[in-house]
Amino acid sequence: MQDKFKTKEQLLNELAGLRQRVTELETSQTRLKQADEVINRLASFPGLNPNPVIEIDSSGEITFFNQATKRILKELGMSRKDIKAFVPENLIALLKDRGKKKKYSLFSEVFINDRVFSENIYFVPRYNAARIYAIDITERKQTEETLKRNLERLAIISDTASQLLVSQTPHLIVEALCERVVEHLDCHAFFNYLVDDERNCLRLNAYAGIPEETARGIRFLDYGVAVCGCAARDAYRIVAENIPSMADVRTDLVRSLGITAYACHPLFAQGKVIGTLSFGTKSRSMFTEDELSLMKTVADLVATAMERMRLLQSAEERGIELEARVLDRTAQLRRQAEMIDLAYDAVILSNIDGTIAFWNKGAQDTYGFTREEAIGKFVHEMLRTKFDVPLKDIEDRLRHKGRWEGELVHTCKDGKEVTVHSRWALRHDEVSGRAEVMEVNRDITIRKQAEEALRMMGEYNRSLIEASVDPLVTINPEGRISDVNIATERATGYSREKLIGTDFSGYFTDPEKAEAGYQLVFKEGIVKDYELEIRHSDGHVTPVLYNASVYRDQGGHVIGVFAAARDISERRRMEQALRESEERYRTVIESGSDGIALVRRGRHMYVNARYAEIFGYNDPRDIIGKPLSLTVHPDDLPVVSEINDMKQAGESVPLRYEFRGIKKDGTSRNMELSVTGITYSGQPVSLIYLRDITEYKNLEEQLRQAQKMEAIGTLAGGIAHDFNNMLAAIVGFSEMAEEDLPTGSPIVSHMKRILNAAFRGRDLVRQILAFSRKTEHVRGALSLSPLIKETVQLLRASLPATIRIALATRASRDTVVASPPEIQQVVMNLVTNAAAAMKENGGTLDITLTDVEFESDSSIFDPDIEPGEYVQLAVTDAGVGMTSDVMKRAFEPFFTTKKAGEGTGMGLAVVYGIVKGLHGAITVESEPGTGSTFRVLLPKVRFDEPLESLEDPRIKKGTERILFVDDEESLVEWGQAVLGRLHYEVTAVRDSEEALALFMEDPSRFDLVITDQTMPKLAGLSLARKLLTIRPDIPIILYTGHSDAVSPEKAKKAGVKEFLMKPLARKELAEAIRRVLDARPCC
C-alpha cells in the first residue's frame, strides 16, 4: 500500500518524535560515561578488570596481559601473537624518551578490525614500562555518530518545514532543502519532477549534480520511462541499489551518470501522484533505512508545499471561473425560459400541493387553457386527471426517487380527453429552496390510436396464422411448445391446450432427431428442409419438411423457435403459400424494428422513421434527398455504393452484408443491411432493410470466447473416453490372464504390475479430467519412465528438426511421490531450456533416468538431501553452455540470458520450486561451448511389503442371464469371457440396436443388462429408457469411459440401477452385478 499524503500536523508530530529520539540518544551517552567511570575504578586490579589490560616495556616486549585481552583477541579472530595490535605505533618511542617528558599518562584510540578501543596509557618509571587500559567504545562511537546525524536531520527538517508551508515560491525552498539533504546523505544528485497534465508526462522542476545540457535532455519524462517515470506510473517508491551490477533498463539513465544507488519517492497530494523526488549517490551501493526515512519525510514536505501552491492557484482560478459561470448561468436561464416556451410538449411547474406556477405555450396548445387561466389553479382539478395508479403512490415515488414516468388522461378546455406520456421530476427552487414538481406532458393520443390499430393487426395476423394449412409451432429454449395453430392440432390429433407446455420432440417417430433439429435452430439461427415424421394420436405418420428460425424480443434476445412443417406430398403448392405467409409475417415484424430505405444513384429517395431513428435523426426528412455519405462510414462508402449500383443494374450481389454507419452525433455503429432491387416510379432502385447489430456483434464475440473454453473440456472428455476404453480391455484381459496362470508362475508378478500400471493410467485420466475442470492435482506413488516417455513424445513435434532426443531409462525402480503435472512441468521446462541453447547448431539432447544412492557418510552436494535411494533425471544438451556467473543465477526468478520477448526467466525457477517441494535436489554443470547438464534427484518410494494380490477369493458369482452391450470389440470379448468365468450365462453384442431387437424378441430372456453409454446409433441411456419402457423391472447397469455425457443422478432418474466408470476391475463389476441382482424382490 503506497504512503499517503501527510498533513502539517502529521509532519510536526514526526519532528517531535525525532526530538524525542535525540533525547534518548543523549541519555544513552550519559550512561556510557558512567560505565566508563566504573571501569576506571577496576583499573587498579588488572586481573579482575573485564577489559583488556596490557603491559609493555621499552624494548617492545609484552610483559603482562589479562584474561579479558585473550577473550577480546578470540572475539576478533586473532591470536596472542597479534596482541601488539593494541599498542599505539609511537608508544615504544615515548617509553625510550620518557625522561625528557614529565607526562606519566596518555590517551589514545586504536582501531582493530571493525571495532574501536579507547586506551588510557600509564607509564611506570620504576620498570621502564607502560600499562595500557583498553575499553571497547565501538557502540558509543556508533551512538555518537547516530546522534550527530539525527541532529543534522532534525535541523534540516525544522529549518525548512515552516518555510515551505508559508513560502510563496516553494520551488526555491525545495532546491535549498534538497541540496542540504544531498550534502547530509553524501549524495551527488537529486531530481524533482512534477506531473504535467497537458503533456501527460513528468516535467523536471529542480535538480542538482548534473550538467545543464544533460538536464535539458531529460526535461520531460514519459510515464514508465526510467526510475522516476516508473515510480510516478506505479505510485510506489523505487530503491535501486548496486546499479552497476544489476541489469535493469529503468536504471540506464542514472547508471550513465555514474550513480551507484538511487531512491525515488512519489509525491502524493489528496491520494494522487503529483510528481517525484529522488536522490542518487556515486560513493555507495545502497541506502540505510534512516536515510530512506529522511528522503520520505522530505518528499512529504515537498508534496505539501507543491499542493499548497496548487490549491492557492486553483482557488484563484475558481474564483474567476465562478464569476464567469454566474454570468453564463444567468444568460442560460434566460435562454431556457425562451426555449421551454417554444417546446411543443406541455411543460407545467407546480408547487408540492399542485398549485400551477408555470404554464408554457405547449401546455396552452395541448389543453386550450391560457397561461392566465392556469396559473394558481390546482393542476389535477383543472385537467381532471385520470391515474392508472393512486396519486399518493406517485408522490411517494417522487419523494424517494425524485422522478416518475407514466401515462395519464387529461380533459381539455373543450371537454376532449387526451392521453399524455407524462414525466415528473422533483426539484427545489435555487433561491428559496421550495420543493416543486415539473411535469413534461406529450400528447400521445394519436400514438395510442395507432397502438390499438396495431393490436387489431396482431389479431388479424393471428387469424392468418390460424388460416394456414401448414402446422405452425413456436418452441421455447427448453424445447417445450409455447403455441400452435389449428393445422398442428389436426396433424397431431391433440388440442392446443394439451400441446402447449409439452416436449416438442415427443410428437415425432424419432424424438432424438427432432430434439437435435430445434437445438440446431438455436445454434445456427435457421434450419431449412429438416425432415421428420409426425406421429398422429391414432398412430398414422405424416412425413414433413420443417423450416424453422429463431425469433427475438425487442431487445434482440432469442426467446424461441418458430417452426413450420410442410407435407412433402404437396411440397410445390405449399412452398408458394409458405413464402407468401413468411413475407406477410416479415412485413409485419420488420416494419416495427428494421430501418427501410429506397436508394438510387447514391442518394436516399425514401427512409422510414425507424431508419432515421437508428442514425439519430428525429425526422426522416433530415435524410431524404441526402447522399449515402451522411449515414455510411467513409471507409465503407465505396463498397456500399458499389453494391447498390450493381443491384440497380441487375447484377448479383450479397443478400446481406455488414458495414459501419455514422450517426448524427458522429458515433460509429455496426449495421446489417439486406438489399433488393425493385422498380420504383419506373426506375430501378435498391430496397434496403437496415438493422443496428452493434450489441449483437458484442454478444457474438462473448459467445465465441465461451465456446473456446467449452472446447477444452470437450477435448479432455473425448480423450478420457477413448483411453478408458483401452484401459478397460487391458485390465479385463490381464485379470483373466492372471487367473489362467498356474500358482507360483513368475509371470503372475508381471501381470500384477500390468494391472497396477493400468490402474495408474486410470488415475491419470481422472487427473486429465480434473485439469480440464481446473482442480487441484493429488500427489501419489508415480512411475517416472512411462510419464517421461509420454512427455518426450509430445515435445518432439515442437522441437526443431535439427535437435534429436535420446531417451535412456536405466533406473531399476523409478517410483516417486509426485503428481503427473509436476513431473511433466519439470521435463518440459528442462527440455525447452536445452532446446533453446541448441537452437543455432542443433545436435543430440540426452535424457537419462538412473539409480543413485547416498550413504550416511556420503559427500552430498545438497545439505537438504537425506541419505537413501534416489532416481536421477539428467538432461544434457550440446548447446552454448554457461559461465560460472550465469550458473550461480540459473535458478533465480526472472533471470534470463535470452533477448527481450524470448523468455520470462521463470522456467528453471519453477523447476527448482517443484523439485524442492518433492524433497529432491537439482544441480547444473556447464562450461561455455561444451553444453550443460541438469540433474534432478527425487527420493524413491519404499516398497517394504510385496504387492497385494489382485485376486479376491470372496468374489461372488452367479448363474443369471446377462445381456452385455459395448461397441468396442475388445470390451465385448472381455465381457463375454469375464462374466462367463463368473458362471453367468452371457449374450454379448456390439450394436445397441441389435441388443434392443434381441430384447424385444423375448423380454423375459435376460435377468440383467450391462451397457456402455457412448455408442453409435443409440446411446446407452437411450437404450436403457427403451428397455425399461418394454420391461420396467429389468435391472440395468450403465458404464462409461467419461462421465460428462451422463451423470449418476441422470442415470438413476432414468431407472438405471448402477453407474460405473471404466476401466473396471473384475471384482468391481462382480460386486455391482450382485448388488443389482440381489436387490430384486423375492418371487
Q: Return the SS3 of 796.
A: helix
- Number of other CB atoms surrounding residue 171 within 10 Å: 15
* pLDDT at 8 > cutoff 60: no
Q: Which residue has the higher pLDDT, 561 or 709?
A: 561
- Taking residue 483's Cβ as centre, other Cβ atoms within 10 Å add up to 17
pLDDT at 706: 46
Give the pairing of strands 1008-1012 and 985-989: unpaired
Q: Write down the CATH superfamily of domain 167-315.
A: GAF domain (3.30.450.40)
* 885-915: pLDDT as tens digits: 888 888 877 677 777 556 666 678 788 888 8
Torsion angles phi and psi, residue 473, rounded to 5: -150, 145
Sign of CA dihedral 41, 46, 52, 58: positive
Q: What is 777-939's CATH number? A: 3.30.565.10
Neighbours of 52 (CB within 10 A): 24
| Positive/negative CA dihedral, 834, 835, 841, 846 | positive
By three-state DSSP, how is residue 792 classified?
helix
State the average pLDDT over residues 323-328: 71
Rounded-to-integer distance, Cα 436 and Cα 449, Å: 33
Which of 407-411, 545-549, 696-700, 976-980 shows the lowest per-residue confidence on average (mean pLDDT)? 696-700
pLDDT digit string, tens, across residues 572-611: 566 566 666 656 644 643 466 788 888 988 899 888 888 8
Contact, 122 vs 105, CB < 8 A? yes
Please give the Cα distance from 649 to 876 (Å, whole number).
72
Spatial distance between the Cα atoms of 264 and 236, rounded to a whole number of angstroms: 9
The more confident residue out of 900 and 527 is 527
Task: Show Cβ contacts of residue 608 under 8 Å, excluding neighbours closer than 6 positions.
Answer: 591, 595, 596, 597, 620
State mean pLDDT over 73-88: 84
Share of residues in the chain with pLDDT > 90 (%):
22
Q: Quick check: do 13-144 and 343-443 share a fold?
A: yes
CA atoms within 13 A on the CB side of 176: 13
Q: Is the dihedral of CA 832, 837, 840, 842 positive or negative?
A: negative
Residue 317: Cβ-neighbour burial (10 angstroms; 0-12, 13-18, 19+): exposed
Alpha helix segments (H runs only) across 196-288: 212-217, 226-234, 252-256
Give the pLDDT confidence of 267-302 residue by residue, as tens digits. 998 889 999 999 999 988 898 888 888 888 888 877
pLDDT in tens, 180-223: 777 777 888 989 999 998 899 999 988 888 898 988 989 999 99
The ranges assigned to domains in the chain are 13-144, 167-315, 343-443, 462-587, 594-692, 694-734+952-1083, 777-939
694-734+952-1083: which CATH architecture?
Answer: 3-Layer(aba) Sandwich (3.40)
Alpha helices in 42-119 (DSSP H): 67-75, 91-96
Average pLDDT score over the chain: 81
* Contact yes or no for 422/439 (Cβ under 8 A): yes
Non-local (6+) Cβ contacts of 476 within 8 A are 482, 559, 560
Q: Quick one: pLDDT band at residue 947, thresholds 50, 70, 90?
A: very low
CA angle 370, 376, 380 (to 5 degrees): 80
Three-class DSSP category at 274: strand
CB 1037 within 8 A of CB 1009: yes
pLDDT of 72: 84
Q: What is the mean pLDDT of residues 250-279?
A: 91
| Number of residues written out for the chain | 1083
In which band, very low, low, confident or very high, does the pLDDT at 769 lie, cut at 50, 70 and 90? low
pLDDT at residue 797 is higher than 50: yes
pLDDT tens, residue by residue, 634-647? 999 998 888 888 88
Residue 301 confidence (pLDDT): 77
What's the CATH number of domain 594-692, 3.30.390.10, 3.40.190.10, 3.30.450.20, 3.40.50.720? 3.30.450.20
pLDDT of residue 160: 59
Residues β-bridged to residue 424: 404, 439
Helical pair 170-184 and 289-342, crossing angle rounded to 10 deg: 160
343-443 classified as CATH 3.40.50.1820: no
| pLDDT on residue 50 | 83
Counts of helices then strands in the chain (DSSP H, E): 31, 39
Q: Return the CATH superfamily for domain 13-144.
A: PAS domain (3.30.450.20)
Identity at 965, one-letter amino acid code:
V
Above 70 in pLDDT, residue 23? Answer: yes
Range 60-88 average pLDDT: 84
- Look at residue 767 in the predicted model and tell me its pLDDT: 47
Of 260, 258, 222, the closest CA to residue 240 belongs to 260
Which of the two residues, 663 and 430, has the higher pLDDT score?
663
- pLDDT over threshold 50, residue 709: no
Distance between the two ends of the chain, CA-based, in angstroms?
A: 76
Reported confidence tier of residue 875, pLDDT bands at 50, 70, 90: very high
Burial class from Cβ neighbours inside 10 Å (0-12, 13-18, 19+) for residue 1001 reads exposed
Higher confidence at residue 415 or residue 32? 415
Q: Indicate the pairing of strand 62-65 with strand 53-57.
A: antiparallel
pLDDT of residue 696: 81
CB 228 within 8 A of CB 218: no
Instruction: Lowest mean pLDDT of 68-77, 100-109, 177-186, 844-853, name the range.
Output: 100-109
| Amino acid identity, position 344 | Y
pTM (predicted TM-score): 0.28
* pLDDT value for 584: 62
Q: What is the DSSP letter of 278?
A: E
Q: How many CB atoms lie within 10 A of CB 327?
A: 10
Mean per-residue pLDDT, 975-993: 91
For the stretch 428-484, pLDDT in tens is 876 667 888 989 999 888 888 777 777 777 676 677 677 778 888 999 989 899 898
Q: Which of 322-336, 386-400, 586-600 has the highest mean pLDDT?
A: 386-400
What mean pLDDT is predicted for residues 409-429? 90
Name the band, by pLDDT with cuts 50, 70 and 90, for residue 4: very low
| H-run or E-run covering 766 | helix 747-772
| Spatial CA neighbour of 163 closest among 153, 152, 175 | 175
For residue 256, give the amino acid letter. Answer: S
pLDDT of amino acid 2: 40
pLDDT greater than 70 at residue 834: yes
- Which among 1000, 933, 987 has a CA at the least distance from the CA of 960? 987
Q: Please tell me the CATH code under which domain 462-587 is placed.
A: 3.30.450.20
Alpha-carbon gap, residue 399 to 966, rounded angstroms: 71
Strand arrangement of the beta sheet that strand 472-475 belongs to: 481-484, 472-475, 558-567, 541-552, 526-535
Residue 32: pLDDT band with limits 50, 70, 90:
low
